[in-house]
Amino acid sequence: MTPSDASENPRSENPWSDLDRPPLNANALRRALLRPGGLWTSLDVVSRTGSTNTDLVAAGGPEGAVLVAEEQSAGRGRLDRTWSAPPRSGLFFSVRLVPGPGVPVERWGWLPLLAGVATATALSRAAGVDTALKWPNDLLVTVDGEERKAGGILAERSGDAVVVGIGLNVTLRADELPVPQAGSLALAGAEVTDRDPLLRAVLRNLADLYEAWRAAGGDPAACRLQEMYTAGCATLGRTVRAELPGGRELVGEAVAVDGDGRLVLATAEGVRQPVGAGDIVHLRAAGS
C-alpha cells in the first residue's frame, strides 16, 4: 500500500490550508471503530493515493481493513469512470470484506447494494440530509429541488474477498463540481459536514448490515436488505432507458429489484425484463 507523495500536489502540502476542510483524525477513528471481535481490524488514512480500491486489492490481507484517502488522483467508478474532488472535500475509502463459505458467490453481487443502503441510511441520520439510491451504485441528494449524484460505490472481486469502495462529496462547493449534475452534502443543506462522525456512522452501519447479511447466508430477503434497498431506491417507479453494450437499449418502467439484485423493467410489450449491473453501460430517465 504505497500512496503517492503528497508533495506531488501543492494543494495537499498543508492539510490546514482550507480551514473548512480539516484532516481526518486517524487515531480517533481507530479508537472509535476498532473493537475486539468487531468487523473492522485496521484503519489507515493517507494524504493522497491513486485509488483506495486499487491499493486494498493489491495489499490483500485479512477481512476488515479500511483505507481512507484525503485525496484520490485516480479514483474510479463503475466501468472505470473517473472520480475526482479537491483534497479533504469528501470521504473516499475502501473496505475489504470476506463473506466466507457461508455465503454463495452468486449472492456477493449484493455487496455494492448493501453498501449503498448502509451509506444512505447513515447519512440520513448523521448528516440530516435525505439520501436516495439510484440503481445500481449511485447516492443521490436533492439540491435546489433537483436530484444530484453525491456519491458512488464500486465493488471488486479479489480472490476470496470483495473490496468495496465508496466515494462521497461532502463539502464540494458549486464552483468545484466536476459536472453540473453532481452534488454534495453541503449543497443539499446537510446539518453536519464534519467528516469524522460521518465516516464513523457509515462504517458502523455498514458493519451491522453486513454481519446481518452474512448471518443470513447472503439471503437479501431474510435479512431485509432487499426490502431496505427497495424502500430507498429512487429508480423504482420511473420509466428508464437502459443502454446496453453494442448500442442496444431497453426502455421500461423500473418495477422491482429482484433477489439477484437486478433491476426489473416492465416494457411496453408487457414483458418483465431483469437487467444486471454488469449488463448496462448507462441507466437514464427515458427521454433524457
Q: Rounded CA gap, 103 and 205, in Å?
A: 20
Distance of CA 217 to the CA centre of its chain: 22
Q: Cell numbers of 135, please?
A: 440503481
Q: Cell numbers of 195, please?
A: 467528516
- Report the CATH fold assignment for 236-285: SH3 type barrels. (2.30.30)
The predicted structure's pLDDT at residue 77: 52
Q: Rounded CA gap, 131 and 141, in Å?
A: 5
Q: How confident is the model at residue 2 (pLDDT cuts 50, 70, 90)?
A: very low
Mean pLDDT of 225-230: 98
Report the candidate in 119, 102, 90 with the shortest Cα–Cα distance to residue 24. Answer: 90
The predicted structure's pLDDT at residue 286: 83
The amino acid at residue 215 is A
- Percent above pLDDT 70 for the chain: 90
* pLDDT per residue as tens digits for the range 132-164: 999 999 999 999 999 999 999 999 999 999 999
Domain 6-231 = CATH 3.40.50.150: no
Residues of the chain with CATH 3.30.930.10: 6-231
24 three-class SS: coil
Residues of the chain with CATH 2.30.30.100: 236-285
* Phi-psi domain of 21 (left: phi exceeds 0; alpha: psi -120 through 50; beta: other): beta
